[in-house]
Structure 1
Amino acid sequence: MSPDRLRPPVEPMLAQARPTLPGPGGLRRGVAMELKWDGFRALLFTAGRPGGAMVLQTRKGTLIQDRFPDLVAAAGQLPTGLVLDGELLALTGEGVMDFGALQRRAASSVPQKVQALTKAFPAYYVAFDLLQVEGRPTLAEPYEVRRARLEALFADHALTPPWTLCPSTRDPELAQEWLETWTRTPGIEGVVVKGLQQPYRPGARDWLKVRARETTEAVVGAVTGTLGRPRRLVLGRYDAAGRLRHVGTTTEISPAAAQQLGDRLTTAAAGAHPWEGARFTAGWGTRAALDTRMVTPDQVAEISGDTARDRGVWRHPVRLVRLRLDMPVEDVPAF
């Protein structure tokens, strides 16, 4: 075995967020754009011998191939000595990408439950980079060379689902179309921009990611800070039964917005708020509880959030655009 062969854990290369795609001139100067998936980042390793074990490594270095026996069973399609970077997805029986189902699959280790989840929510692996081929690392090669090798891998081995090649383009108009239209599909949340000459640098934030955002409304159900100077808003929407359901939390709001909102907030009466005793965090994957104060849910916030949602709840903090003093809570979109 070559001493240079990649072995888990390998840190994946990362992306830094930006609000918009580069201008047309920037897009045409040596970059490619790929779809950004709302799944689990995973590196895939195949063994150095035929029939050897396949390994799936999360972004944090955890090995989770035992949670995805369907992918392990399909690994016979892949050549030996391979390392891919990509995204894990899980689909419902209707063929819709479901992050909640993927989360349950990645967290389940009991064999009976793993088998049930595998049957109900089959997994797919979307490959967008090739880090090693035939046991030889390709990290130092430019992205456009790695991409060509990845495309050749899919063509030469006639790979079929669950193995999927991530779409890539150098056309700025097509990338903008992806951002504006494809992101309406559950499971696609934006576009990643990569330099054609970039090597693969583990742990470096050298790529760019642009998430699609939507502007909508929600009810202010609780706040952090004080009623006079709120810092974050905890948001809700009413469901068909008239219950206020939690849908997300904002980033810290501006001093001007805090003053405007503070003049209108009132403390919820004891025992009257549907969230009394509930615990909230700043976002998905964050365990630290927010110190919240329940308020009378009679104020409406216009917010801007990305498309990553789990059962109606924004997984990332949303941004407050403005207060909608002209909108009654009855006109807020339903949960």
Structure 2
Amino acid sequence: MVLGPPVEPMLAQAVEAVPGPAALRAGVAYEQRLDGHRALLFTGAGPGGAVVVQTRRGSLVQDRWPDLVAAAEAQLPADLVLDGELVVWNAEEGRLSFGALQRRAVARALGAAALAVRWPACFVPFDVLQQGGQELLNQPYAEHRTRLEDLFTDRALTAPWTLVPMTTHLAKAREWLEFWTDVSGVESIVCKPLTAVTSPDTGAEPRSNGATPPKPSWARSPGL
């Protein structure tokens, strides 16, 4: 199955406890959850194919992110689907700017181009749902992460692409929560079992629009 918009992204579930011993023994990845807008980015099926940016609710908004579209056309391979966060960094404040992000999210046409110069956007992927035309929904998280890291290395990707920070060390995750949430725009920590798949075995058939069921994960607010 080749994915195409709209795709329903998986959603993290907030919990009140650290993952249990069984999950910790199997291995857990901790990722930063940033103060941004959830989005999926699709590259075309071949050279020169259209780049599409989809919101969490399924709207297609690539016209509002011309800088990302241009960067994707120049730097990313065809037949790729990335899941991640749209963010805007405020260099003067030294943190993410949700206000600037909101302004960009509603801009159209010439306004979008002008705001892209003033407030360049970054796309921070934390999952790859398709690569080289191969749908990856049943691959474990660890495989997805390796593919993302290889993509950044092989393509020498830099801004506007930033791979979401990840650690397998609980102490480092706690450090992020204690010191990063108030200063840099980290909202919380998302915990993902290394063996979890994007499309868990729920017994449900995929929808005709390519929607994906939620992936088992935990989102922790400060206090992890």
Same fold (TM over 0.5): yes
Under a length normalisation based on structure 2, what TM-score does the superposition of the two structures give? 0.87
Would the alpha carbon gap of residues 20 and 149 (structure 1) be closer, same or farther in structure 2, given more than 3 Å must change? Answer: same
CA distance, structure 1, for counterparts of residue 49 and residue 215 of structure 2: 33
Per the alignment, residue 83 of structure 1 pairs with 81
Q: CA deviation at 1:11?
A: 0.7
1:7 is the counterpart of 2:4: yes
Q: CA deviation at 1:180?
A: 1.2
Per the alignment, residue 316 of structure 1 pairs with none
Per the alignment, residue 202 of structure 2 pairs with none
Per the alignment, residue 156 of structure 1 pairs with 154
Which structure is richer in relative contact order (CA contacts within 8 A, separation 6 or more)?
Answer: 2
Per the alignment, residue 206 of structure 1 pairs with 216
**Structure 1 SS opposite 2:217:** strand
Aligned length: 209
Q: Is the 8 A contact 2:43 2:49 kept in 1?
A: yes
Which residue, out of 71, 74, 81, partners 2:71?
Answer: 74
Please tell me the residue identity of whatever aligns with 2:172.
L
Q: CA deviation at 1:190?
A: 1.1
CA distance, structure 2, for counterparts of residue 134 and residue 67 of structure 1: 26
Per the alignment, residue 131 of structure 2 pairs with 133
CA RMSD of aligned residues (A): 1.7
Q: Is the 8 A contact 1:41 1:88 kept in 2?
A: yes
Instruction: Report percent identity of matched pairs.
Output: 52
Q: Is the 8 A contact 2:84 2:124 kept in 1?
A: yes
In the TM superposition, what are the counterparts of 1:312-323 in structure 2 within 5 Å? none
CA distance, structure 2, for counterparts of residue 191 and residue 52 of structure 1: 35
Per the alignment, residue 327 of structure 1 pairs with none
Q: Is the 8 A contact 1:92 1:120 kept in 2?
A: no
1:54-74 CA-to-partner distances (Å, cap 9, x unmatched) read: 111111000111100110111
Please tell me the residue identity of whatever aligns with 2:47.
P
Would the alpha carbon gap of residues 23 and 140 (structure 1) be closer, same or farther in structure 2, given more than 3 Å must change? Answer: closer
Q: Is the 8 A contact 2:192 2:218 kept in 1?
A: yes
1:144-176 CA-to-partner distances (Å, cap 9, x unmatched) read: 011111111111111111011111111111111
1:122 is the counterpart of 2:132: no
Per the alignment, residue 99 of structure 1 pairs with 98
Q: CA deviation at 1:179?
A: 1.4
Q: CA deviation at 1:24?
A: 7.3
CA distance, structure 1, for counterparts of residue 215 and residue 3 of structure 2: 20
CA distance, structure 2, for counterparts of residue 181 and residue 26 of structure 1: 26
More strand by share: 1
Q: Is the 8 A contact 2:198 2:213 kept in 1?
A: no
CA distance, structure 2, for counterparts of residue 112 and residue 84 of structure 1: 26
Please tell me the residue identity of whatever aligns with 1:189.
E
Per the alignment, residue 39 of structure 1 pairs with 36
**Structure 1 SS opposite 2:130:** strand
Which residue, out of 161, 165, 168, partners 1:167?
Answer: 165
CA distance, structure 2, for counterparts of residue 120 and residue 199 of structure 1: 38
Please tell me the residue identity of whatever aligns with 1:36.
R
Q: Which runs of 5+ in 2 are unaligned?
A: 200-211
Q: CA deviation at 1:92?
A: 2.5
**Structure 2 SS opposite 1:13:** coil
Which has more radius of gyration? 1
Which residue, out of 28, 51, 55, partners 2:48?
Answer: 51
1:190 is the counterpart of 2:182: no
CA distance, structure 2, for counterparts of residue 193 and residue 135 of structure 1: 28
1:17 is the counterpart of 2:27: no
Please tell me the residue identity of whatever aligns with 1:39.
G
More helix by share: 2
1:54-100 CA-to-partner distances (Å, cap 9, x unmatched) read: 11111100011110011011111001100011000012242531111
Per the alignment, residue 218 of structure 1 pairs with none
CA distance, structure 2, for counterparts of residue 205 and residue 144 of structure 1: 13
1:103-149 CA-to-partner distances (Å, cap 9, x unmatched) read: 1111122x232122212211000011111110101110111011111
